Amino acid sequence: MLDLPMKPPGTFKLLGRARRDQLDAMDPLSLSDDRSNRIIDSLRSQILELDVDQSLRIRQIFENPREIYRVEIDRPEQAYLRTTLLDRDALEDLLATDDVRERVLDAID
């Protein structure tokens, strides 16, 4: 009978050595910045796609210890509601585009 070593449950090789080394070499802060930029770009494109039946709301929900804003994009015909929390810097990045700023001001009026 062949006696094979058993691995304890839960120890699986998920990434190859080369991929693990590549991820370890990456800066976690830059990965976070990339993710934030993708979220802002996605929000920007959805805001610019807004139709008559869609609504946009931006509200401040926290002031201390950090300003946090809630951005809601509602598309009732698709039963879709996107809620995203942004800090002050991310909201300013989102509103840096003139077209987005105009849409937000139109939503406020």
Predicted local distance difference test score (pLDDT) of residue 60 = 92
User: In which element (H, E) is residue 75 found?
Assistant: strand 68-75
User: In which element (H, E) is residue 58 found?
Assistant: strand 55-62
Report DSSP state, residue 19.
H
Digit-coded pLDDT (tens) for 27-83 = 666 667 788 889 999 999 888 886 767 788 899 999 988 899 999 988 888 888 989
Rounded CA gap, 61 and 16, in Å?
43
pLDDT band at 106 (very low <50, low <70, confident <90, very high): confident
Would you call 50 helix, strand, or coil by DSSP?
coil
Predicted local distance difference test score (pLDDT) of residue 32 = 72
Rounded CA gap, 28 and 40, in Å?
19
Predicted local distance difference test score (pLDDT) of residue 47 = 87
Note if the pTM is more than 0.75.
Answer: no
Q: Is the pLDDT of residue 25 over 70?
A: no
Backbone φ, ψ for residue 59 (5° rounding): -135, 145
User: In which element (H, E) is residue 94 found?
Assistant: helix 88-94
List the structure tokens of 31.
Answer: 């990965």
